Structure 1
Amino acid sequence: MALTLVRSFNVDTLLGPGGALQSALPAYEHRPEQLQMARSVERAFTERSYLLAEAGTGTGKTLAYLVPALLSGRRVVVSTATKTLQDQIFYKDLPLLKDRMGLEFEAAYLKGRGNYLCLQRFNAFTKDPTFGSREEVRYWPMIQTWAGRTETGDRAELEIPENFSAWPRLSATADTCVGTKCPLYEQCFVTRMRREAESADLLVVNHHLFFADLALKGAGRRSEGVLPLYEAVIFDEAHALEDAASGQFGTSISNHRLEELARDAVAALPETDSRFTTLRALSARVRTHAEVLFTQAPRVLGLAGAEGGVPLKPDRMATLAGPLELVRQALAALSSFTSSEREPEMLALARRGSEMAEELTFLEKADSTDHVYWAESRGRGVFLRASPIDVAKEMRGRLYGGVDTVVFTSATLAAEGRFDFFARRMGLYDDEGVPVAEVRTIAVPSPFDFTQQAALYLPTHLPDPAAPGFIEAVAEEILQLCEVSGGRAFVLFTSLRNLERAYELTKSRLPYQVLKQGERPKQQLLEAFREMPSVLFAAHSFWEGVDVPGDALSLLIIDRLPFASPGDPLVAARIKQIEARGEEAFEQYQLPQATLALRQGFGRLIRTQKDRGAVAMLDRRIVTKPYGRAFLESLPRAQRVEGLDDLRRWFHADSN
């Protein structure tokens, strides 16, 4: 490791008044909250303990954990939920600490394998390049030129569409990578990335990569992991950990995955090889039976028209028993095809076929009480999945025994002022309620003055969300609210169905640029939103990790309280598990989860000390139901207004 520090450095000399940060930043403002958090993180590293740190928007929490992490002298992984924060840490915060504040260290930015060009697969693709459309063909010369000069192999260097269909054939996954047996292993971009990581003091990753690596190592495939040994972990945007961990610790078989296996099998041998004809026939058998299975599955499983996933019910899975068995047999035949140690790609095909057959059996039996079995469709993809109901056990078994310092931080960790909900979900207490390690907590408030900067509009004249005509009433309210704010609004929905309906009812009546999630890539939508007064209709991914400071965003409209749908298979399984323990699922799980989600949504509005704007919650239950108090108490202390005239006066007060 390369860490060499001036020993007089500590969090106070770096982040306190008159410290290195003040010297480095002309517009420096001392933030006591930042220093308070940094001292707590420093203590966690010194005592080798666990810390839950909630830090309100504007605290400067990134530097508050980076400084003590770098001063610790240990190799630390920083894991985030979004690429935006990864980029900020690596390209903005770390250069500030290194170039302008005098810290000497080495850092590495790591992404999943799928982000990097695989030289072996690139060479194979070059022999027979095929594309999903004529539009994609025009990118090929650029990709070839780039492949010959890139030093990282990171597709982020390329200006190609996010959905560029040929990229999966130019990159590798944990399934397709043959590791040290690859003839181009030494030149491999992932190998280079790994070696950079092995000499780094700080590793910047995302949650999906972190848990994918942990899952591979837990499965005994340590050589296929990406991360080197580390001594401590900092989870930023920690509120997103449960979903990320659940996805990576689960099992998933899809038509895409089987199609990729069949395609790779055909490409594994040259046509001149005497075995090629047999291998091509085995590949065609996998493809044919997979197409039958995944053509029938949406109808049989009830996926048509479903929003989100549907449970894999035993009677419906029994209807698919024939197609499932044929796919399993085809995979078994492919995995038993003759290969030797001198043919790593053939060995990888055999392993993949065998593993997928086992996973299909696991999915079909659906008899593990620790997992929930479900299916979903996304675009042309159909997925059969099994996810752990509770990631707490996985976290205890895979992570906590191997590291003595873990910091969880986010603007939203505490529900109703308590960390119990998050701590239980993360497995920081065992089944008897005993902490797995010394766990400390700290809640650092935002430096923003929400009483002056934000208003909270809570109308009670709208129908209940379950009542007929709710979304139509919401659409009319959106029109009036946007007239008050002059557009400049995010309209956030808890379901795609409501989003689509409200968008159709209002798009031609709003005198502003109207944008909708999914019409363009996320960054392009945000750029267009900033350019002129706009109204953006969005769901899911825009509830968090979106930063629009300034006047461009002055109004945040939320259609309903963000309770997770009890019809979602994973949510339903968690509710059932909690109730089986004799606990109350609404109080223990659904309500705290929803309050955290609402706080995340609210957090999109005020991003700097100069921002000013209003949040409109159109779900009357926040006022009329007893549990509404939990939501109101969890939100920043904004000025509450109940009528449109009051809201209009509040907005106009800004210009007086």
Structure 2
Amino acid sequence: MARADYRTLVRDNYRRLSQSIQGFTPRREQNYLVAEIGKVLLGHYDSARRILVAEAGTGIGKSLAYLQAAIPWARLNQKKVIVSTATLALQEQLVNKDLPLFQPHCQPGFTFTLAKGRARYCCVRWLEALALGENQLGLFEAAAGLTPAQQQQLAGLWQAWCDQRWPGDRDSWPEPIDDSLWQQLQAERHSCQPLLGHRHCPFHLARAEIDKSDVVVVNHALLLADLAMGGGVLLPEPEQCLYILDEAHHIAAVAREQGSARLPLGLHRRALEQFNKQLGGVHELLGEEGQPRLARLQQALQQLIPALNQLYRQLSSALSRQELTPDEQGCLRFTAGELPGFLLEALVSLKEDNKLFARSLERVQAALGEQLKRQPAKAGAIEAALAALSQQQLRAEQTRDLCELMLRAGHPKQPPPARWLEQDRQELTLCATPLAVGHLLEQWCWSRAAAAILVSATLTALNDFGYFRRAVGLRANDGSRYLRLDSPFDYQSARLILPRLDCEPTDARFDQLLCEQIPAWLEGQTASLVLFSSYRQMQAVAEALRGRGQSLLVQGEASRQALLQLHKQRCDGNQPSVLFGTGSFAEGLDLPGHYLTNLIITKLPFAVPTSPVEEAMAEWVSLCGGNPFMQLAMPEASRKLIQACGRLLRTETDHGRIVLLDKRLVSRRYGAALLDALPPFSRELP
């Protein structure tokens, strides 16, 4: 591809776009981001590794920037643009605003679509079986009894599908679909059989749209799920994709979730016992030549079920003897990833038995596939059997993943997975999560993608990319390009206030301090947001303030959308409005102009390492001679504090104040570093 051709296209597209927008004002930072993305895509910095990590502050217009730079390059190089986001709000902005705005002015032209996970679509086979009360051979797992309201909704869904009034996805149904009903209808990877054809499958019809589209908008979970399966399953192969990862600071956490595994021992054992009883229905479908395969499957079950039983008994016995001691939440983390000897032996045995079970399942499925070709008259019964076998295949994969994580050998440069046991009434669940996912992202994406652009308003921590780079598996000198663009907003128009306070958040008097300070800082204000780091603390303060007559909109008491709508109505009516929220309100909340002029942050967002994953990560850093607070807690708190402060200024004309009720910013040595990493607000310090 000639460089001049691409650059000319970008310039011409920009000219047409700017002329179409009334009152268009050029943004220097946005244009610079377009230019830097273009240089990376053209191989200006490294032709073998086209990766850009860009922190672009609020107000730059990064989504329109990366669309302008990426789409022409991808079209000229026959690549797909995959735009991945963390939030539904940004997906909706891209699909409903940014892409339609750019599309008429872009050459070469492009098409776009929104891709959703398989679970957002119904399986027509499940829908029909449930609607018509059919359960061929009794092989489907027992469905929970439906209430009259669910039965009525089910009938409506089935009729709408038959009348071609509904495409089969959850989001296009005009009213909410009951969760427990949808769980029985949603498509699953292992229920989809290539042998059955996909002409009428909602998911595969949507998948065909992805194949035809030039730009695909997805969420991080869907992208990482596809990459974890090797790529090219739900989305195109990584080598054919230019990935744009917006809100990229979430990528490591989502990758960790994708790599996690859980095995509820009791539930899994009971499901296999039920499946074993139902296998007789497959006997007559297989034909004579398939009987040896069925016998091997039944034999594999006779080994696997006792192995699960034995492991459950061993763990129960160790708990009763207090050899293993869970915490108050019923969670027992295996310190430093060290497993007791009996558990190691049991997991090795379980892994081998599960392998045999998985192979036997595949052979029976293959035999049923052959019978489907020979006996089309029995298609319904064979399809039901294939779907039931596929459900067990999913269980086998879950067991395999859990065993592999639990048994993974240590590596001197990588932390072991977090491994723990959860006890809930009569259920015991083994859990494991990889702590280091950077090597997985390198293997899945960075080393394979045609190009990758990672953008966010908050990628640095304490003014450095190092924390993010280590989390996602990029190295300092691997050819990746780093860019930091400040927001064009006038931060001096906003005041950052640290009042004189009597105690720190660790003090028992802090709740009472908040009950005194918050009303004082709400007085005379029309649009306020108060952010808490603890749900318990938020509720306690809300109860106390309401007791004094304060009107509050509190997170959790209504949907987020309903709270924001009511807040805006009050602001539009010149009535004082106060929103109380926790961490999720500190990110992605967009209240421009008069909807937010008074932001109160009650406490620095230090995470307390209480989850097994956080505890294991802090433990690893300590074992390596590091400081978990400085290496983990501080960078994460810095990033979260910047995000929280970012709620105030959302447009160039916004103004207001931020009140920080945590004296550690001035009383502790680390406070100066956290303050220096914040935008250059006008400061009022004690």
Shorter-chain TM band:
0.7 to 0.9
* Letter paired with 1:104: G
Q: In structure 2, what is the Cα distance between the partners aligned to 1:69 and 1:407?
A: 9
Q: 1:573 aligns with which of 611, 616, 624?
A: 616
Moved more, 318-327 or 188-197: 318-327
Assess if the C-alpha contact under 8 Å between 2:530 and 2:580 holds in 1.
yes
Residue 226 (structure 1) shift: 4.1
Residue 325 (structure 1) shift: 12
Assess if the C-alpha contact under 8 Å between 2:354 and 2:400 holds in 1.
no
Deviation per CA, 1:161-214, whole angstroms, max 9, x where unpaired?
47622112111233x433413x25232222222222223222211111111111
Residue aligning to 2:644: 601
Assess if the C-alpha contact under 8 Å between 2:528 and 2:578 holds in 1.
yes
Residue aligning to 2:373: none
Quickly say closer, same or farther: Cα 1:135–1:366, change in 2 above 3 A: farther
Q: Is the counterpart of residue 449 in structure 1 residue 490 in structure 2?
A: yes
Q: Is the counterpart of residue 157 in structure 1 residue 203 in structure 2?
A: no
- For residues 300-319 of structure 1, the aligned pairs below 5 Å read 302=326, 304=328, 311-312=333-334
Residue aligning to 1:55: 56
Quickly say closer, same or farther: Cα 1:32–1:272, change in 2 above 3 A: closer
Q: Is the counterpart of residue 142 in structure 1 residue 156 in structure 2?
A: yes
Residue 67 (structure 1) shift: 0.9
Give TM-score scaled by structure 1 length: 0.81
Quickly say closer, same or farther: Cα 1:7–1:361, change in 2 above 3 A: closer
Assess if the C-alpha contact under 8 Å between 2:402 and 2:431 holds in 1.
no
Residue aligning to 1:591: 634
Q: Secondary structure at the match of 1:66?
A: helix
Assess if the C-alpha contact under 8 Å between 1:464 and 1:470 holds in 2.
yes
Residue 273 (structure 1) shift: 8.7
Assess if the C-alpha contact under 8 Å between 1:253 and 1:359 holds in 2.
no
Q: Is the counterpart of residue 521 in structure 1 residue 517 in structure 2?
A: no
Residue aligning to 1:406: 452
Q: In structure 2, what is the Cα distance between the partners aligned to 1:255 and 1:553?
A: 49
Residue 53 (structure 1) shift: 0.8
Residue aligning to 1:636: 679
Residue aligning to 1:243: 253
Residue 620 (structure 1) shift: 1.0
Residue 477 (structure 1) shift: 1.9
Residue 6 (structure 1) shift: 9.1
Assess if the C-alpha contact under 8 Å between 1:139 and 1:160 holds in 2.
no
Q: Secondary structure at the match of 1:192?
A: helix
* Letter paired with 1:451: Q
Residue aligning to 1:483: 523
Q: Is the counterpart of residue 21 in structure 1 residue 20 in structure 2?
A: no
Quickly say closer, same or farther: Cα 1:152–1:45, change in 2 above 3 A: farther
Residue aligning to 2:191: 177
Q: In structure 1, what is the Cα distance between the partners aligned to 2:11 and 2:580?
A: 44
Residue 330 (structure 1) shift: 12
Assess if the C-alpha contact under 8 Å between 2:503 and 2:509 holds in 1.
yes
Q: Is the counterpart of residue 199 in structure 1 residue 222 in structure 2?
A: no
- For residues 508-587 of structure 1, the aligned pairs below 5 Å read 508-517=547-556, 519-532=557-570, 533-587=576-630
Assess if the C-alpha contact under 8 Å between 1:301 and 1:310 holds in 2.
yes
Assess if the C-alpha contact under 8 Å between 2:85 and 2:218 holds in 1.
yes
* Letter paired with 1:58: G
Deviation per CA, 1:352-411, whole angstroms, max 9, x where unpaired?
232333345456668655311246799999964321111111112222221242111110
Assess if the C-alpha contact under 8 Å between 2:531 and 2:586 holds in 1.
yes
Q: Secondary structure at the match of 1:606?
A: coil
Assess if the C-alpha contact under 8 Å between 1:11 and 1:39 holds in 2.
no
Assess if the C-alpha contact under 8 Å between 2:9 and 2:107 holds in 1.
no
* Letter paired with 1:142: G
Q: What is the RMSD computed on CA atoms of the aligned residues? A: 4.3
Q: 2:241 aligns with which of 231, 234, 238?
A: 231
Q: 2:472 aligns with which of 406, 420, 426?
A: 426
Q: In structure 2, what is the Cα distance between the partners aligned to 1:223 and 1:179?
A: 17
Quickly say closer, same or farther: Cα 1:465–1:484, change in 2 above 3 A: same
Q: Secondary structure at the match of 1:604?
A: coil
Q: In structure 2, what is the Cα distance between the partners aligned to 1:605 and 1:380?
A: 48
Quickly say closer, same or farther: Cα 1:162–1:170, change in 2 above 3 A: closer
Q: 1:88 aligns with which of 90, 93, 109?
A: 93
Residue aligning to 1:495: 534
Larger radius of gyration: 2
Q: Is the counterpart of residue 124 in structure 1 residue 129 in structure 2?
A: yes
Assess if the C-alpha contact under 8 Å between 2:406 and 2:417 holds in 1.
no
Q: Secondary structure at the match of 2:432?
A: strand
Q: What is the aligned length? A: 615
- For residues 246-395 of structure 1, the aligned pairs below 5 Å read 246-253=256-263, 258=268, 302=326, 304=328, 311-312=333-334, 339-341=364-366, 342=368, 343-362=385-404, 370-374=416-420, 384-395=430-441
Assess if the C-alpha contact under 8 Å between 1:55 and 1:61 holds in 2.
yes
Assess if the C-alpha contact under 8 Å between 1:136 and 1:164 holds in 2.
no
Q: Secondary structure at the match of 2:257?
A: helix
Q: Secondary structure at the match of 1:599?
A: helix
Q: In structure 1, what is the Cα distance between the partners aligned to 2:121 and 2:505?
A: 45
- For residues 101-120 of structure 1, the aligned pairs below 5 Å read 104-120=109-125
Residue 237 (structure 1) shift: 0.4
Residue aligning to 1:652: none
In the alignment, structure 2 segments of 5+ residues that lack a partner are 134-142, 286-294, 369-384, 571-575
Residue aligning to 2:504: 464
Q: Is the counterpart of residue 208 in structure 1 residue 214 in structure 2?
A: no
Quickly say closer, same or farther: Cα 1:417–1:119, change in 2 above 3 A: same
Quickly say closer, same or farther: Cα 1:58–1:223, change in 2 above 3 A: closer
Assess if the C-alpha contact under 8 Å between 1:334 and 1:353 holds in 2.
no
Assess if the C-alpha contact under 8 Å between 2:261 and 2:402 holds in 1.
no
Q: Secondary structure at the match of 2:218?
A: strand
Give TM-score scaled by structure 2 length: 0.78
* Letter paired with 1:11: V
* Letter paired with 2:455: T
Q: Secondary structure at the match of 2:675?
A: helix
Deviation per CA, 1:220-277, whole angstroms, max 9, x where unpaired?
xx675444453321111011111111111222335998599679959998989989xx
Deviation per CA, 1:3-55, whole angstroms, max 9, x where unpaired?
xx99775434434xxx2222221132211111011111111111142111111
Residue aligning to 1:627: 670
In the alignment, structure 1 segments of 5+ residues that lack a partner are 644-656
Q: Secondary structure at the match of 1:349?
A: helix
> How high is the sequence identity, in percent, across the aligned residues?
27
Q: Secondary structure at the match of 1:139?
A: helix
Quickly say closer, same or farther: Cα 1:315–1:207, change in 2 above 3 A: closer
Quickly say closer, same or farther: Cα 1:500–1:274, change in 2 above 3 A: farther
Q: In structure 2, what is the Cα distance between the partners aligned to 1:497 and 1:312?
A: 29
Assess if the C-alpha contact under 8 Å between 1:339 and 1:346 holds in 2.
no
Quickly say closer, same or farther: Cα 1:145–1:346, change in 2 above 3 A: closer
Moved more, 121-130 or 627-636: 121-130
* Letter paired with 2:225: A
Assess if the C-alpha contact under 8 Å between 2:91 and 2:218 holds in 1.
yes
Q: Secondary structure at the match of 1:57?
A: coil
Q: In structure 1, what is the Cα distance between the partners aligned to 2:333 and 2:510?
A: 28
